[in-house]
Chain A
C-alpha cells in the first residue's frame, strides 16, 4: 500500500475529476481525485457551487424577515435551521417560549429528522447500487411531506417556526394522521432492517471502509451521527438540553463496530436507522403529552435585541447546527454565522480518502451525509 501511495517516476499519478454534476455528490459538489490505479492518493473537495451569501443576506434583513431564508440553508433540515435561528434570537431577547410551542417544535423537528434520515439512507443504498430501497423510503417520506404540507402549507421550505413560538397550531385531525403514520412507519423500519441493512452486499461495501477514529472525528469537528458512529457518546438533545427535550425519554445510539471497526461506514449507516426508531419514540411522547396553551410568546413585530452576541445550537439531522448571532441593538443582525455539520463532514474527506478505493469514495460521501447547500450557504 505504501508503495502505491508514493509518487515515483514510474508510478504516475492520474488526476480524475468527479462532479460537479455527479449523481452521488448530492448537490453540486466536485472532487479532484488523485489516483494510482484503483487507489486514491487523495480526494480534494472543491465546494462553493451553491454559495448564495445567506450570511450576508442576514445583515440586510430584519430579525423576523430572515426566517424564510433559514429554510434555504438545507432543504432536508428545515425545521432545525428554523429552530436554531429562532432560539438564538430568543436567547438575546430573553423570550420564554410557551410549553405547547416547545413540544410542537420538538414534534416537527423529530418528524423532520425521520424525513431527512430516510433520504440519507435511501441515497446511501442508491449510491451503492441498490435502487429499490431509495424508492421505498421516498414513498414513506412522501407521507411526511403531506403531513407537513397540511400543517404549514409547504412540502419542503416549511417556514413553520417564528421568533417566540410556531406559526400555526396543530389541528386534532392532524395529530390522528401523525399517529396513523407512526403506526404504519415503525414496522417499516424493521422491514428495512431485515431487507436492506444487513444485506451482505451492503455490509461488504460499508464494513471496515473509511474508518474514522474518535480523535479525528473530534479534531475535525464532526458532529451528530458521524461523531457518534466514531464512538463518542454525545447528543446535544440529551447533553445540553433545550426546548422540551428534558421531558423526553430516548436513547442515543453509538457506533459499536457491528460489522467491522467502530467508525466505519456501516456504523454511520446503522446509527441513522436506530435514530429513526428513537424519533418515533419521541413523537409518541409528544403526542401523549401535548400541553394546552399558547403557541407563540408576545414578541414585538420589529424586535431589537440588546447589544451582545450568542451562540445557539440544536441537534439537527446532521448533528450540532449552530447559529452565531451578533446584535448591535438595531432591527437587523450585525453578523450571523452558520455552523453546519456538512461543512465539518466534508473537510475530513481529504484526510481519510488516502489509500481508499475510488469506488469507496461514493460510500464515504453518502455515509457522511454531506449536503452541498448546507455547506456552501
Chain B
C-alpha cells in the first residue's frame, strides 16, 4: 500500500513538475500539494491515464491552529486502476482561500460547500458556495478549534437556563479541574443572580 502510494505520488509530481512532500505516519500516507497548484494537481490526477482518479471520495477541512493553517484534504480513488491517493494542501488560517475543484469532479460542489460551512474556507470558482448544514445567518464555523458557540440564535438561547455553557475548542485539551462539591452549593445562587429574568419567569 505504502510503496504503491509512493509511486502514484511520484507520477503525479513528475507530471506537475514539482517535488511533493510525501508524509508517512501511522495509517495512510499522504502528499502535500502547494495551494497554488491545487486545481492543476487535481486535473492531472483525473486526466492522466496512469492515474485516472475519477472518484472524489471526500473533500474536507482540518483546522491546525498551531501551524496557522486550515488543511484541505481530498481522498481520491480510481475505479479503473483500483488505487487511492490522499492529498493535502495548506491554506492561510486568517484568510482561507483555495481554488475550487468543482469543475474537475461535480461531487466537489457539495463537499466544498460543507468545508466552507464548517471551516470558512472560501473556494473561488465554486458555482454554489452557500452554507449547507447550518442556517445561512449562522455566525462562525463550528469545526474550527477556537469556535465558541453563540449565546443565542435569533433570540433563542443555545443553553438551557440553569445549565452551564459547554466549552468547546482549545479549552478541551486541558479540561478545567472539576469542582463537584462547591458546584452543588452554588447552584441556587447561580440560578438567581445572573439569570434573574429567566429564573423568575420559571417561578411564576
Contact with A along B44-59 (1 / 0, CB 8 A): 0000000000111110
Chain B, Cβ-Cβ closest to A219 = B106
Surface stretch bound by A, among B11-19, B33-41, B128-136, B186-194:
B128-136
- Say whether A48 contacts B58, CB under 8 Å: no
A53-B62 Cα distance, complex, nearest whole Å: 15
Indicate whether A219 sits within 8 Å of B54 (C-beta atoms), given known contacts A48-B135, A55-B143, A307-B25: yes
Q: Please tell me which one of the listed residues B27, B84, B110 contacts residue A91 in the complex, with CB atoms under 8 A apart.
A: B27
Contact with B along A212-223 (1 / 0, CB 8 A): 000010111100
For residue A232, which residues in chain B have a CB less than 8 angstroms away from its CB?
A: 79
A325-B73 Cα distance, complex, nearest whole Å: 12
- What range describes how many residues of A lie at the interface? 35 or more
A332-B27 Cα distance, complex, nearest whole Å: 16
For residue A335, which residues in chain B have a CB less than 8 angstroms away from its CB?
A: 62-63, 143
Indicate whether A218 sits within 8 Å of B27 (C-beta atoms), given known contacts A60-B172, A239-B82, A324-B75: no
- Say whether B27 contacts A309, CB under 8 Å: yes
Chain A, Cβ-Cβ closest to B131 = A48
Q: Is A360 an interface residue (CB 8 A)?
A: no
Chain A, Cβ-Cβ closest to B75 = A311
B contacts with A, residue count (CB < 8 A): 35
Contact with A along B88-123 (1 / 0, CB 8 A): 000000000000000001110110000000100000
A164-B106 Cα distance, complex, nearest whole Å: 37
How near does chain A come to B116, taking the closest CB pair, in angstroms?
Answer: 13
Chain B, Cβ-Cβ closest to A215 = B54
* Contacts across chains A and B counted by CB atoms under 8 Å: 99
Q: Please tell me which one of the listed residues A311, A346, A377 contacts residue B86 in the complex, with CB atoms under 8 A apart.
A: A311
Q: Please tell me which one of the listed residues A327, A339, A351 contacts residue B57 in the complex, with CB atoms under 8 A apart.
A: A339
Q: Is A111 an interface residue (CB 8 A)?
A: no
Q: Is B28 an interface residue (CB 8 A)?
A: yes
For window 19-34 of A, CB contacts with B under 8 Å fall at none
Q: Is A376 an interface residue (CB 8 A)?
A: yes
- Say whether A311 contacts B28, CB under 8 Å: yes
How near does chain A come to B108, taking the closest CB pair, in angstroms?
Answer: 9
Q: Is A92 an interface residue (CB 8 A)?
A: yes
Chain B, Cβ-Cβ closest to A323 = B58
- Say whether A220 contacts B106, CB under 8 Å: yes
For residue A307, which residues in chain B have a CB less than 8 angstroms away from its CB?
A: 25-26
- Say whether A219 contacts B143, CB under 8 Å: no
How near does chain A come to B130, taking the closest CB pair, in angstroms?
Answer: 10
- Say whether B110 contacts A343, CB under 8 Å: yes
A26-B69 Cα distance, complex, nearest whole Å: 38
For residue B28, which residues in chain A have a CB less than 8 angstroms away from its CB?
A: 308-311
- Say whether A221 contacts B26, CB under 8 Å: no
For window 313-349 of A, CB contacts with B under 8 Å fall at 313, 320, 322, 324-327, 330, 332, 334-335, 337, 339, 343-344, 346-347
A240-B84 Cα distance, complex, nearest whole Å: 11
Q: Is A139 an interface residue (CB 8 A)?
A: no
For residue A239, which residues in chain B have a CB less than 8 angstroms away from its CB?
A: 82
A109-B135 Cα distance, complex, nearest whole Å: 35
Q: Is A47 an interface residue (CB 8 A)?
A: yes
- Say whether B25 contacts A48, CB under 8 Å: no
For residue A218, which residues in chain B have a CB less than 8 angstroms away from its CB?
A: 54-55, 79
Q: Is A13 an interface residue (CB 8 A)?
A: no
Q: Is B60 an interface residue (CB 8 A)?
A: yes
For residue B86, which residues in chain A have a CB less than 8 angstroms away from its CB?
A: 309, 311
For window 21-71 of A, CB contacts with B under 8 Å fall at 47-48, 51, 53, 55-56, 59-60
For window 202-248 of A, CB contacts with B under 8 Å fall at 216, 218-221, 232, 234, 239-240
Q: Is A153 an interface residue (CB 8 A)?
A: no
- Say whether B56 contacts A221, CB under 8 Å: yes
For residue B105, which residues in chain A have a CB less than 8 angstroms away from its CB?
A: 219, 221
- Say whether B134 contacts A48, CB under 8 Å: yes
- Say whether A92 contacts B26, CB under 8 Å: yes
For window 133-165 of B, CB contacts with A under 8 Å fall at 133-135, 142-143
For residue B109, which residues in chain A have a CB less than 8 angstroms away from its CB?
A: 347
How near does chain B come to A376, taking the closest CB pair, in angstroms?
Answer: 6
Chain B, Cβ-Cβ closest to A218 = B54
For residue A94, which residues in chain B have a CB less than 8 angstroms away from its CB?
A: 26
**10 interchain residue pairs of minimum CB distance:** A308-B26, A310-B27, A221-B107, A308-B25, A306-B26, A308-B27, A347-B110, A48-B133, A339-B58, A51-B133
Q: Could you list 16 further interchain pairs (A-B, Cβ under 8 angstroms) beyond the known A48-B135, A60-B172?
A: A51-B133, A53-B142, A56-B142, A92-B27, A239-B82, A307-B25, A309-B27, A310-B28, A320-B57, A325-B27, A327-B26, A332-B172, A337-B58, A337-B60, A339-B58, A351-B106
CB pairs A–B below 8 angstroms (19 shown): A51-B133, A53-B142, A56-B143, A56-B168, A60-B168, A218-B54, A219-B105, A219-B107, A221-B57, A221-B105, A234-B79, A240-B82, A308-B28, A309-B28, A310-B27, A339-B57, A344-B107, A344-B110, A347-B109
Interface residues, chain A, CB within 8 Å of chain B?
A: 47-48, 51, 53, 55-56, 59-60, 91-92, 94, 216, 218-221, 232, 234, 239-240, 305-311, 313, 320, 322, 324-327, 330, 332, 334-335, 337, 339, 343-344, 346-347, 351, 376-377
